[in-house]
Amino acid sequence: MKKRGMIVSLAGVAMLIISFSIAISVLQSSGMSDGEFLLPDVLKDVFDQVSDKTQIQPGETTFFSFDASDGTKTLLWGIQVMDPQMGGDISISISNIYGDDFGKFKSNQPVFFETLDITKPDVYNFNVENKGDKPVTIVMMFTKNPDDSKSVINPNSQFGKFLLPLAASGTFFIAGIVTTMVGIIIIIVDYRKNRSSNFV
């Protein structure tokens, strides 16, 4: 019986093992394997300002401020819920010191990002309200002019060191699955051909 299918399948399994090894190595080096995934810790060079972990009780509101000084054209802001729960909703409203409204957002996701176009330098307040029935712990993240951020395109940045290996891991994972499936198909085809030849 031909062994080409087995060889192809073993090559696919080897790719899957490499994929998992890379992923585990990246997670361990970033500290994500310690049980708490904190996005700003993983992507240290991406954000200009990160808040402390803040707990918000049900029905209460906490505000976070960001000073969009001269040169800020776009503000990327995000929120991470450290302890996401079913039915937990977060409401975010943006205003300035004069009470002008710059948008309201709702999220029930562990991580939520949006952009804000800055028309003039100002201090923007992000009012975060816990709409759920249980306390939540959150972290706010801010980045000025994300399109110009060197950390996103710099492979030596924390972002690059984290993203590029994960991309390689994903590539190996997909290639491993495809190769393994091809190997299994070859094994089945060769088995049927071998069985047919035995009856001739």
Per-residue pLDDT tens over the stretch 145-195: 877 755 454 445 555 555 666 677 788 888 888 888 888 888 888 778 777
Q: Is residue 4 part of a domain?
A: no
Residue 107 CB partners (closer than 8 Å, separation 6+): 79, 89, 90, 92
Given this model, what pLDDT does residue 127 score?
93
158 and 63 in one domain?
A: no
Given this model, what pLDDT does residue 35 score?
54
138 and 43 in one domain?
A: yes
Would the pTM of this model clear 0.95, i.e. be above it? no
Measured CA to CA, the distance from residue 142 to residue 191 in angstroms comes to 59
What b-and-e string marks burial along 28-67, b requiring 16 or more CB atoms within 10 Å of the CB?
eebebeeeebbbbebbebbbbebbeeeebeeeeebebebe
Q: What is the number of structural domains in the chain?
A: 2
141 and 52 in one domain?
A: yes
Given this model, what pLDDT does residue 151 score?
47
What b-and-e string marks burial along 111-131, b requiring 16 or more CB atoms within 10 Å of the CB?
ebeeebebeeebebbbebbbb
Least confident of 21-35, 76-90, 104-118, 173-187: 21-35
Averaged pLDDT, 77-85: 81
97 and 172 in one domain?
A: no
The domain containing residue 160 runs over which residues? 154-184
108 and 86 in one domain?
A: yes
56 and 129 in one domain?
A: yes
178 and 142 in one domain?
A: no
Sort strands 101-107 and 61-68 into parallel, antiparallel or unpaired. Answer: unpaired
